[in-house]
Structure 1
């Protein structure tokens, strides 16, 4: 087929006179040509435009911003609340993570299960003590920076003897390396060494609590595009390249603009209030009788005075002594009997109070992005909630959603610790397909997730009791099986098969009760028998 014919077909020409073979050939040729065109155009059509809000940043820029945000009191308290909501804690011992035997070991059956249970019981208490000692710090680092790290110290034949989670494991100092989603190595910067010494660690020396990467954080990657392309094209995970792990997973990622607005609003309010407290008096000057040289010197003195005025205001903004003093600028004059004309203060007199609505709107947006009630982080007069009466802390779906993510990540992290401890203690390794002999549990009746679960269980039990009463009433009505089925299906909302089975059981049970009642009545003595027995007595 000629090229002009193909072009005519692509432009919408009539193809009714073509044979099926010609149409199939044309379709295949068109698909191949369009595929080549699409491949050449896709690099310019995929993705999004880079704007001020989604511009790429370096790893240090991102972590520096998050570090600054985490020092802001409301955000710092919000992170602590989320950790408490996720982990909970025993009211007596304050223990947060509990290690219990897996369900398959509790029956006690099998030689292997018994041996694993004995080994596990020896390691539960030491590991619970170690994990609960550092888990709050690690989890707070994880939700603040996206990753939490701990240095592991183990001894063969004994297990893990200590964990370290402090300034040495500060997330900005550690670079994890991943192969697809699997962490394989670490590089850690010694923060106390001025020579920038980097320690290389493996998966036995350090472990990582990785939060899910739900929100995308635009950033520059140390690896070039070749590694990214190869990662997507490789089917075997072992052949995938090892690349530096990207930054992400932090709760701060989605609320950065609101934090900036809050800081700007606070700075504006503080500056305005301090400016109101800075008192200055400016006086006029008459230089008509001054020689030109004296005028120049006088002007230079005025410039110096204005620069000193800048330092004066800056000192007031920093809370210095300037805020308590009134500064007078004396400008000597000649002639006119040395009279000074007061011009007054350059700042205007405030006639209305400072508006805080802009600040509060951004605070609400910030707390909404963090999933917390503002009353829980310092604004107790705004809403009823928080740890006092438990309103928001126990019922917030936002807190529960983040608690579930944090628990999942923490459970994977604790499993890594216990598996490594098991390897040190018993020289045994668990594959990903093996079931662990332990189970991770949280004592979190005080958290939103557990409160929601308990509430759901109570509602289910209440519904079960109502259903049981309704079903018992249907049995006592003496209705037919077809009628009971229709009532259960139409009014009870049950499935058809379920309604049939339940109606059949109700009718069968009613018949059995009736039969048992009739048999008991036949066995009872008659009145004549009772009289004869009494006379015999």
Structure 2
């Protein structure tokens, strides 16, 4: 027994030496045990005692809102042409599309899957059964996910057949669905439809495309969640079932610029309408007129002005221009009977006006907060010189990064659908690392590819310059030490690389020692 224990210890030590690690006991002693000294008094002592979970109710200038109010604000932003086009552009950038078939999503076998094997045939069947559904709903789910941070699909499945249908429509729009989580795992849903305005759904009936929560959206309910949620619990299955908080929207950061944009547009349009009103105050000189003549004269002038108004109104409503001049005859005796009061009618102008630049500023902020340059959503005159039409589509790093986020979230959602399919049809659910398939999208994100190509070209240029420099030094008769010193100090290479490259001094010329073939 003692010999076996010593052998086991030697085996453990040899494995630790092989991987360069430390024992679990030593790691716990260094990283886990010291946490037992953390107390509430220690937190108060260093000025942290006043920090409470109430800080979750605000973020900068934004206070907590209800779930309905948050979704209502985002739904209003969704109807804006700049916001809608920006999100659509991100989705288009993420999904691409086949030139002829229009397919967006592909289920492909991993390279490790042997051709003709059972797993290979299974992936082929999965692709045949589900690819059409994924391509039908990929754009819609990605768009809703970008707007609301979540999107959902109702799954219809049968034993032995697997998933036979998906539904993504107005009945399961994100404002109507409340997902429930245990830890970070979504385990169920409640949908605000039906006879009771409440329909519970399981993880086999619905799937969720969940965008990463990179920004906190202050909202009511998080205090109750903090009171019920226990961070000390290590077993995820013992955590309470809690409603998921709203978040993950790509338009959240654009809320304030959008509000300013709406106010600027409203002020600009209102100013134009106000300036279009032609109004004057006129006085009638009725001296030396009897009461009867005064009434007739005032009535005649009123009918005359009303007639002019009716003619202009009919021309506007009918869409027909007026080709004749309108003349009114007012008989006068002695002095003029009509006088226009200047200054009380049309305003001479405003000291402060809302111009197009005010609107463009907030439009740039709105589109930039979403991650799309304003020139990409219809304002081609904003393109910088030299890039040409569509130049920002190839170089917008922000759009590329957000498009990649959409891809990851959508791929995870479709993997969940395939898990439901394989469970019903094959009686197995693969671990994420053991899945024999990959969710791929047609084409690549153009901005990221442009950056890769630019980086590759820069690296090739540096390599060619380095090779030419080394050849010139060798032709000048540089020694190995001189070559190494030059590469280290002037070319700023590492010593190991410089020593390796300096060996070219001792290399024989191509074709033979004398330099001739």
Same fold by TM (over 0.5)?
A: yes
How much has 1:204 moved relative to structure 2? 1.3
Equivalent residues in 2 for 1:35-114, closer than 5 Å? 41-43=49-51, 47=55, 53-105=61-113, 114=117
How much has 1:512 moved relative to structure 2? 10
How much has 1:419 moved relative to structure 2? 2.4
How much has 1:368 moved relative to structure 2? 1.6
Equivalent residues in 2 for 1:449-468, closer than 5 Å? 449-464=448-463, 467=466
How much has 1:340 moved relative to structure 2? 7.1
Equivalence for 1:199: 199
Q: Deviations over 1:191-210 (max 9, x none)?
A: xx5x5522211111111111
How much has 1:51 moved relative to structure 2? 8.5
Equivalence for 1:152: 155
CA spacing shift, 1:209–1:320, aligned 2, 3 Å:
farther
Equivalence for 2:16: none
SS at match of 2:113: helix
The answer as to whether partners of 2:403 and 2:445 remain within 8 angstroms in 1 is: no
CA spacing shift, 1:423–1:430, aligned 2, 3 Å:
same
SS at match of 1:368: helix
The answer as to whether partners of 1:86 and 1:447 remain within 8 angstroms in 2 is: no
Paired residues, number = 438
Equivalence for 1:122: 125
Q: Do structure 1's residue 399 and structure 2's residue 399 form an aligned pair?
A: yes
Larger radius of gyration: 1
Q: Deviations over 1:134-171 (max 9, x none)?
A: 10000000010111111112233333222111212211
How much has 1:260 moved relative to structure 2? 1.1
Q: Do structure 1's residue 266 and structure 2's residue 265 form an aligned pair?
A: yes
Equivalence for 2:331: none
CA spacing shift, 1:387–1:225, aligned 2, 3 Å:
farther
CA spacing shift, 1:510–1:196, aligned 2, 3 Å:
farther
Report the Cα distance in structure 2 between the residues aligned to 1:369 and 1:101, rounded to whole angstroms.
38
CA spacing shift, 1:34–1:380, aligned 2, 3 Å:
closer
Equivalence for 2:21: none
Deviates further, 341-350 or 237-246: 341-350
Q: Deviations over 1:271-296 (max 9, x none)?
A: 1211222334445699xxxxxxxxxx
How much has 1:126 moved relative to structure 2? 3.2
Equivalence for 2:508: 510
Query: Over the residues paired in the alignment, what is the CA RMSD in angstroms?
Result: 4.1
Q: Which blocks of at least 5 consecutive residues in structure 2 are unaligned?
A: 1-36, 286-308, 323-334
The answer as to whether partners of 1:186 and 1:202 remain within 8 angstroms in 2 is: yes
Equivalence for 2:275: 276
Q: Do structure 1's residue 173 and structure 2's residue 176 form an aligned pair?
A: yes
The answer as to whether partners of 1:188 and 1:201 remain within 8 angstroms in 2 is: yes
Report the Cα distance in structure 1 between the residues aligned to 2:445 and 2:499, rounded to whole angstroms.
43
The answer as to whether partners of 1:152 and 1:207 remain within 8 angstroms in 2 is: yes
Q: Which blocks of at least 5 consecutive residues in structure 1 are unaligned?
A: 1-28, 287-311, 326-336, 522-537
Report the Cα distance in structure 2 between the residues aligned to 1:154 and 1:253, rounded to whole angstroms.
35
CA spacing shift, 1:45–1:140, aligned 2, 3 Å:
closer
Q: Deviations over 1:457-511 (max 9, x none)?
A: 444455455556666667777755444433443344332223334444x467539
Report the Cα distance in structure 1 between the residues aligned to 2:401 and 2:88, rounded to whole angstroms.
16
The answer as to whether partners of 2:380 and 2:389 remain within 8 angstroms in 1 is: no
Equivalent residues in 2 for 1:125-524, closer than 5 Å? 125-190=128-193, 195=195, 197-221=197-221, 224-225=223-224, 227-228=226-227, 230-282=229-281, 343=341, 346-350=345-349, 355-384=355-384, 389-432=389-432, 434-445=433-444, 447-464=446-463, 467=466, 480-504=479-503, 506=504, 510=508
The answer as to whether partners of 2:161 and 2:425 remain within 8 angstroms in 1 is: yes
CA spacing shift, 1:128–1:466, aligned 2, 3 Å:
farther
Give the TM-score of the pair, scaled to structure 2.
0.73
The answer as to whether partners of 2:375 and 2:392 remain within 8 angstroms in 1 is: no
How much has 1:399 moved relative to structure 2? 1.1
Report the Cα distance in structure 2 between the residues aligned to 1:388 and 1:189, rounded to whole angstroms.
48
Report the Cα distance in structure 2 between the residues aligned to 1:385 and 1:128, rounded to whole angstroms.
42
Report the Cα distance in structure 1 between the residues aligned to 2:196 and 2:180, rounded to whole angstroms.
19
Report the Cα distance in structure 1 between the residues aligned to 2:53 and 2:208, rounded to whole angstroms.
37
Give the TM-score of the pair, scaled to structure 1.
0.70
Deviates further, 383-392 or 171-180: 383-392
The answer as to whether partners of 1:373 and 1:385 remain within 8 angstroms in 2 is: no
Bigger RCO of structures 1 and 2 (CA < 8 A, at least 6 apart)? 2
The answer as to whether partners of 1:86 and 1:444 remain within 8 angstroms in 2 is: no
Report the Cα distance in structure 2 between the residues aligned to 1:403 and 1:179, rounded to whole angstroms.
28
Report the Cα distance in structure 1 between the residues aligned to 2:354 and 2:93, rounded to whole angstroms.
36
